[in-house]
Structure 1
Amino acid sequence: MNKIFPSADEALKGVVKDGQMLAVGGFGLCGIPEALIQALHDSGVKDLTCVSNNAGVDGFGLGKLLETRQIKKMIASYVGENKEFERQYLAGELELEFTPQGTLAEKLRAGGAGIPAFFTKTGVGTLVAEGKELREFDGETYVMERSLVVDVALVKAEVADHAGNLRFNLTARNFNPAAAMAGKLCIVEVERVVATGELAPDDIHLPGIYVHRIVHNPNPEKRIEKRTLRESK
């Protein structure tokens, strides 16, 4: 099977549709699938539920999709510096399911591992636990969290081989592996594509069985860095 697609637009074609749930890797502006998000923006799909740690910043990352009202709901752990995210939520224009960061990561990982739910102490006694099952283990109260399985996962890696085995760069190895695991279909944007077998087994952070489509987008992080430096002046 050829997993390499010529562009982000082609990789999304026929896959992403209105009303779907998407998991998007990254943390702030670190390790975000920049080209795939732009292709999603250009496609015009709407009523999306996006699962991501946060929603980028205004006008960048998932912030682009908030500006065009393509996202109807965010499942996230952090609003951050995104003023449009905050504005839409406070105005009742955007649904938001706040989820503690570690719980969000485990929801994705567990979903990918075929685990439908798990118990955690995080959130017990807070709004996070409202309406959820509570159970006692060894004298401690835990809340049950349902795992997440999404229609499509959009992730960013540094290197992929033709079989889809991935290596992530430093802190970009954050939500990306868990998001990839949770997707019924996973599309990865990579800076470099190498021949199958070129990656040493110990250098593979995620096996290719989770990856269905690959898009080559060299050095997108450099553009993010330049943009950030320009705005800080």
Structure 2
Amino acid sequence: MKKIVMFFVFSAILFGAAHAANAPDINWSLSFDDKEVFYAFFKKMDTDRDYRQLAAARVTTIWCDGANWSGKEKVDRIPPQIGFLINLEWLELAENRISQLPSQIEFLRKLKVLNLNHNLLTEIPPEVEYLSSLESFSVASNQIKRVTEKISHLIKLEYFFLNSNLLTSLPAGMGGLSSLKELDVSNNQLTTLPKTLPKTRAKLNNLTSINCMQNPNLKIPKELQFLIDEEIIYLEN
């Protein structure tokens, strides 16, 4: 019995080592075209302290766009070890099957670009409030029904793409995005826009475009009519 137990323990160790062995060498930019290698990277960070520290210090870009992964399984989760990458600035995870964001994403305080287009997300969780350096946030073509009120904390956000989701409303916190230049909420199920959006030219700051096309039941509050006059809001269906 003891030999059998030892066999399984030894096999598990060998499997873990082999799995981690597929992890890439650390560079400032890491590009993945295989799900297993992607997960091996995070697995090795979890088990190898030196590897983890090197990754935390050096990695600024992760590219894992599944668009050209013909015949391969897509990434379906972001491992919690993502939180180790405290110098990450660009995270590209479009065209995968990710359904939720791990809470550890809150540690990515230097992240500037986050692309999760064409995944299976149903919400934007509160943890995104800690992404204080985020400038571009793309979550188009998901299944998002809810955006956290804490989105207002992203004061450096310039480009926010929420098109082709299942949104019926937007949080009042959208009005707190003081650096926002472009907002795309086209092809949703919106019925109104938050009245916290800028109401006068003086408060527009950098805002140049709100794409609201293909929201057939959308009614613009009278307080925001000037945004149509200023050709900020686009409504053509």
Give the TM-score taking structure 2 as reference length. 0.27
Task: Flag the structure with larger Rg.
Answer: 2
In terms of fraction of residues, the more strand-rich structure is 1
With CA pairs under 8 Å and 6+ residues apart, which has the higher RCO, 1 or 2? 1
TM value normalised by structure 1: 0.28
